[in-house]
Chain A
C-alpha cells in the first residue's frame, strides 16, 4: 500500500543567525555618518531697519551708555578710554552690577561700533567679553539671591534675573561711506 501520508514539508524559516551582524553593520554606518555637532555661537537681535531720514535720535544719558569702539588697528575704546580687550569684562561688570536695582529704563546699554576694516575676530572677541560680563553678573546675582546657578532656577526666578539684568547690546548704525 502506498503510503498516503503527506510528506512533511520543511518549515519555512528565515535564518536569523546573521541578523545581529547585519544590524551591526547598519549601526556602524550610522555611527560613522552621524555628526552630532551642536551649533554654538553668540546670539544677537539686530535693530529694526529704519531709513536714515526717518530715524529719530534719542539721547541716552551718559551713565547708561557704554560705547565700545574698535578701529582697524585693533585699538579698543571704552567710553573714550583706551582699553585692552580682556579688560572689557571687568570694566562692564562693575557698571552692570551697579544698575541691577534701577528701573528698566535705566539699565546699561552697550553699544558696539567698528570700522569697515576692523578684523572680524576682534569684533567677536569684544562681543564675547560683553556677553561674558552680562552672563557673569547674572550668575552672581542668581547665586546671592537664590543660592543657585542660573540654569537651575525655575521659570519665575529666571524671569526675574532677566528683568534685573537685561542684555542690551546695540550694534551701531554704520557710518556713511564717504
Chain B
C-alpha cells in the first residue's frame, strides 16, 4: 500500500509581489523624517545633563547658539563675536517672531559668557530660550 503524504493544496510561498510597495512605504517614511544636518558645528562642546527636561515640539522654530570649550560662540554657520549676536538675532526674530533659541553650551563654561549672551538676547527681544541638556541616565 502506498502512503501518499497529504499535501496542502495552498501554495507555501510568501507573496513577494507587494514587497516593493512595502519597502517604498518604509522608504518614504524615512525620507520624510530625515533631516540632513544643515550646519557644521565648529566648536567642541559637551552638553550638561538634567532630569526635568522637556522636548521642543516645533523644530522649525529653533535657532541654535553654540558655545564651545574655548568660549567661542557659533551662530548659524559662523563663529561670531559677542557683540554681533544682538543684531543677528534681531534679524532672526523679525523673520520668525516666536523663535526659540536653543543654547548648546559646554558644561564647563562659566556663567559669565552665558549671562552676556542672555543679555544680548534680551536686547534683541528673543526671549524664549532653551538650555539644551541631555537626559540624566
Which A residues contact B (CB, under 8 angstroms)?
16, 19-20, 23-24, 26-27, 30-31, 33-36, 38-49, 114-121, 123-125, 127-129, 131-132, 134-135, 171, 174
Verify A120–B105 contact, CB threshold 8 A: yes
Verify A124–B133 contact, CB threshold 8 A: yes
Choose among B26, B30, B62, B108 the residue that contacts A120 (Cβ–Cβ < 8 A).
B108
Verify A40–B20 contact, CB threshold 8 A: no
- With A120-B108, A128-B51, A131-B52 given, is the CB distance from A42 to B20 under 8 Å? no
Interface of B is mostly: mixed
Interface residue tally for chain B (C-beta within 8 Å): 52
Verify A24–B111 contact, CB threshold 8 A: no
Q: Which 6 A-B pairs have the closest CB atoms?
A: A116-B112, A30-B30, A49-B122, A128-B50, A131-B52, A132-B52
- With A47-B127, A115-B111 given, is the CB distance from A40 to B53 under 8 Å? yes
> In chain A, what residue has the closest Cβ to B36?
A33
Q: How far is the CA of A134 from the CA of B52 in the complex (A)?
A: 9
Q: How far is the CA of A134 from the CA of B54 in the complex (A)?
A: 13
Task: Check: B125 CB closer than 8 A to any chain A CB.
Answer: yes
Q: Which residues of A contact B134 (CB under 8 A)?
A: 40
Task: Check: B27 CB closer than 8 A to any chain A CB.
Answer: yes
A-B contact pairs, 19 of them (CB 8 A): A19-B20, A41-B130, A41-B133, A42-B52, A45-B127, A46-B122, A47-B122, A48-B127, A49-B125, A116-B110, A116-B115, A118-B110, A120-B48, A120-B105, A120-B109, A120-B111, A121-B107, A127-B131, A128-B51
- With A42-B52, A42-B54 given, is the CB distance from A34 to B130 under 8 Å? no
What is the minimal beta-carbon distance from A141 to any residue of chain B, in angstroms?
16
Q: Which residues of B contact A119 (CB under 8 A)?
A: 107-111
